[in-house]
Amino acid sequence: MTALKLLSRTKLYWGLIAIFLIGVLGSPMSSKGNNIFLSYGNLLDVLRQVSTTGLIATGMTAVIITGGIDLSVGSLMAICSVVCAMLLTVPGVTPGVVLGVPTVALVALCLGFVVTRFIFQNLAKSRAGADLLREIKLDGIRGVVTPAVVGVVLCCLSLWFLLPQIEPKFGVLGVLLVAPCVGLLFGALNGFIIVAGRLQPFIVTLAMMVTALGIARLTAGQNNAVLPVYTGSNATADFEILRSLVFGIIPMPGLFFLGAIVIYGAVLRFTPFGRYVYAIGGNEEAARLSGIAAGRVKIATYAVSGLLAGIAAVLYVAQYRQGKPDAGAGLELDAIAAVVIGGTSLMGGRGSLIGTFCGVLIFGLLSNILQLHNINSNLQLVLKGMIIIGTVLVQERNAGDLLAYLRLPGGLSAHKETAAAKRPSQETPSLNLGGNKK
């Protein structure tokens, strides 16, 4: 492997290293002469701040790899933050309870049915030695009755756990169950409409973005633009654990983010589901003809995206001590930018979660550097936009093309001439339009 190819393949990591070095060398110093950027507290703040965007970007990566897009994640996070804050602070039957508890019951019922049926199908395939892509018909007991019973049992268990928490207000585990389930349901609805209606993901998720924002405002109430959450006062003191340092080393939101990257990355890398995601993004029609249930895979990716938005909402409430209908405004754009900076192609079929992780860190370190230098917030937006364009340009082109463009003042023409010289010369045939034949 030549040095140029190695540089091209590792350019994302070099970009992350370059941003980090810029932060180190250009960092202001504290009164004691310490590098502020390199301080442990500052780096922890960076990880804490990028965790919400990172969770959203983790789910967005698989969606984009399939060739889709999800513009609704910001609004889904907003509605989940409202539900979370209301469950924590308001006792009794509230709009948050009406929306959240039935959603958990429905998700438990469907999840129990789908997972049990999936297990039975794979057991039957392994016994028959059949191709994993081929559908195997199950009998009524294994195909319907047993999955339905498992789903009903999970539904009853979830209600048994949640219903006693309605009157005294919900605890940490309660909101960690309800909010992600709300996000999962809306995300799955996105995928179902896209697949069943054969609609463009952009249009469907744009409509869901507006719809979820309206539902979030209706749930919060017209007089509740912000739902404050004060641990130990109007909410359980245990909720403070979600903004604490684990073993005094890593912030809890960062642990959720890293866990999501590792788990979902392993799923995409080592499981058939991950291979199906890449196959659909590469050529959905070919994947469908080869026997892949493309519709189910796409629904699952949107459902996971909504699930991670719900988890991000709970961490948002813990970090900022509030839930509000516009909590995730513009977050979907930050997530998409981080995913694209990480090397995932918007055309689908190419990308990785390790790249998304680097993209999220680049975005977070850049914001931190600008803040440390007290750059005007409006100028920060301009600089971020320019850096995003430059980074994506590098990701979408190989190093050889860039060097050819920059080699001479007339780099573009030189590049074309070089490319033409490499092709075998061909004589252009002349057209004889009624002329004399020689």
| pLDDT tens, residue order, the chain (438 aa) | 566 666 666 667 777 888 889 888 888 887 787 888 888 888 888 999 899 999 999 999 999 999 999 999 999 999 999 999 999 998 989 999 999 999 999 999 999 999 898 888 878 777 766 555 556 777 788 888 899 999 999 999 999 999 999 988 999 999 999 999 999 999 999 999 999 999 999 999 999 999 999 999 998 886 667 888 988 888 888 889 998 888 778 889 999 999 999 999 999 999 889 999 999 999 999 999 888 889 999 999 999 999 999 999 999 999 999 999 988 888 898 899 899 888 888 888 888 999 999 999 988 898 888 888 888 878 878 877 787 777 666 666 554 565 566 664 444 444 455 455 545 544 444 434 444 443
Q: Which two three-digit tokens encode residue 114?
A: 């789908």
CA distance 207 to 190: 9
Q: Is 293 buried (19+), middle (13-18) or exposed (0-12) by CB count in 10 A?
A: middle
Q: Which two three-digit tokens encode residue 324?
A: 């509000």
Question: Quick check: 359 and 338 in contact, CB under 8 A?
Answer: yes
Question: Quick check: 199 and 133 in contact, CB under 8 A?
Answer: no
CA distance 426 to 412: 22
Give the SS3 label for residue 132: coil
Residue labelled with tokens 């469908």: 288
The set of residues, in sequence order, having a beta carbon less than 8 Å from that of 404 and lying 6+ positions away, is 411, 414, 415, 418
Residue labelled with tokens 């005007």: 376
DSSP-assigned letter for residue 323: E
The pTM assigned to this predicted structure is 0.86
CA distance 263 to 252: 16
First-to-final CA distance of the chain:
53
